[in-house]
Amino acid sequence: MKRTVPLVIAIVAGFVLLIANFIPYAEDWGLTAQEWFNILAVGAMVLGGGNLIKLHLMKVSGQRKGWGYSVVTIVCFFGTLVIGMSKLGVHPNTLYPNYAWSGYYLESGSGLWWIYQHMVVPLTSMMFAMLAFYVATAAFRAFRAKNIEATLLLVTAGIVLLGRTYAGVWFFDNGWWSCPDWLLWLRFDNLTVWIMDIPNTAGTRAITIGIALGVVATSLRILLGVDRSYLGRD
């Protein structure tokens, strides 16, 4: 029963949503399935939050390596949960002024808004800034003209980098070489536009088509009950 019931639910819900997208008469079935999905998602979030707290509490109680980070995670989790559920700093909605919690929970000046603007956004920016150093290291390793493919990658990346900055424009307008009108297509900025519009778009579409085919194949395997990896192990 642990595997059969979830498998039947997944197959039925999948076919209902698939049919609802192609048959107008079945649109209400799809909306009902989406509502049930939202209800189940809330339950899954509760279970996920409980599991998160359990794991970090075990780590703190055993004082394992990095248990200090677990303390920060637990404090931030419960702090955000209390602020969000109490709608701290939220003003009543003008349509319902007599209800204190009728306002939007992310309105400017609210507690969750402050957490997002002054904690989540700076931390996200810091993470991507640190990630830039790893990207630069990987680019240095990749941009080595060992073969024809690597040489093309190196030349293309150099053109795009120069075309995206003022250095490429300065090189042709005020730099070493004044580009005549009949060679304007050789400017770094114009070459960058061509590279992004033609070869890059073609490659992106090919990757998108490949991803779509993979999604279709995986979906069919799940709908037909062939792939049961999402059920976990017995």
DSSP character at residue 100? T
Give the pLDDT band of residue 129 (cuts 50, 70, 90): confident
Domain ranges across the chain = 1-86, 91-132
* pLDDT per position as a tens digit, 57-82: 999 988 888 888 999 999 999 998 88
Specify the higher pLDDT residue, 92 or 55. Answer: 55
* pLDDT per position as a tens digit, 143-157: 676 778 778 878 888
d(CA 101, CA 112): 14
List all residues 6 or more positions away from 191 whose beta carbon is below 8 Å from its beta carbon.
159, 163, 185
Which string of b and e fits 94-114 if b means at least 16 CB within 10 Å? Answer: eeeeeeeeebebeeeebbbbe
162 near 171, Cβ under 8 Å?
Answer: yes
Model pLDDT, residue 211: 96
Q: Is the pLDDT of residue 29 over 60?
A: yes
Model pLDDT, residue 214: 93
Q: Is the pLDDT of residue 101 over 90?
A: no
- Between vectors from CA 149 to CA 155 and to CA 164, what angle results, nearest 5°? 30
Mean pLDDT of 38-56: 90
d(CA 56, CA 63): 10
pTM score of the predicted model: 0.61
d(CA 27, CA 179): 60
* pLDDT per position as a tens digit, 164-185: 877 767 776 665 556 666 666 6
DSSP character at residue 185? G
